[in-house]
Amino acid sequence: MRAVRLVRLGRASLGASLRAQAAGAAALRGPEGAGEPERLVVWEPRGPVYTAGLRGEEEPGLAGRLRALGAEVTRLGRGGRLTFHGPGQLVAYPVLDLRRRRLALRAYVAALERLARDACGRLGLPAARALPPPRTGVWLGDRKLCAIGG
């Protein structure tokens, strides 16, 4: 089993979490990367944050309205649409080398979904389920409990 370093940011800004993620990725890509532990960056958003992915097409003026309500809105170079992160949520960013683990992306996402479903079951939410690809995450009815990639 490979070592994964837990990076606990506590209540933090999106910027701090992105910097921790980037530092972990840079360490893995660096000259010493083969011996560098992978990371799991865990944090709670300090305030309301919306991240927009490459498919984050939003209605005209939505970002401005969200900002007027005090939310941070940031476009990121990831897939997906608009995702909300807020106080009280646990956000985890795994920084892993899937090639080193010989793990295909879809298999990795499915493993994360299984992990989230198992956690939901232990918390008394046995009806939580993943939807078929290309959708990701874990849902309870029409409520998204776990976003993956967002």
In a domain, 134, yes or no: yes
User: Residues 120-134: pLDDT tens digits?
Assistant: 999 999 889 988 877
Domain span at residue 114? Answer: 104-149
In a domain, 56, yes or no: no
* pTM of the full structure: 0.84
pLDDT at 25: 92
In a domain, 87, yes or no: no
> Across the chain, what does the average pLDDT equal?
88
In a domain, 14, yes or no: no
From 138, 133, 106, select the one nearest 119 (Cα to Cα). Answer: 138
Phi then psi dihedrals of residue 101, to 5 deg = -85, -5
Number of structural domains the chain divides into: 1
Q: 63 pLDDT band (50/70/90 cuts)?
A: confident
How many angstroms separate the Cα of 56 from the Cα of each of 60, 76, 77, 82, 118?
Answer: 12, 9, 10, 5, 29
In a domain, 139, yes or no: yes
pLDDT at 150: 54
User: Residues 4-54: pLDDT tens digits?
Assistant: 999 999 999 999 999 999 999 998 887 766 678 899 999 999 999 998 877
The runs of H, that is alpha helices, within 93-140 are: 105-122
In a domain, 138, yes or no: yes
Tell me the mean pLDDT in the region 47-75. 85
Higher model confidence: residue 133 or residue 67? 67
pLDDT at 57: 59
Higher model confidence: residue 82 or residue 47? 47
In a domain, 55, yes or no: no
In a domain, 115, yes or no: yes
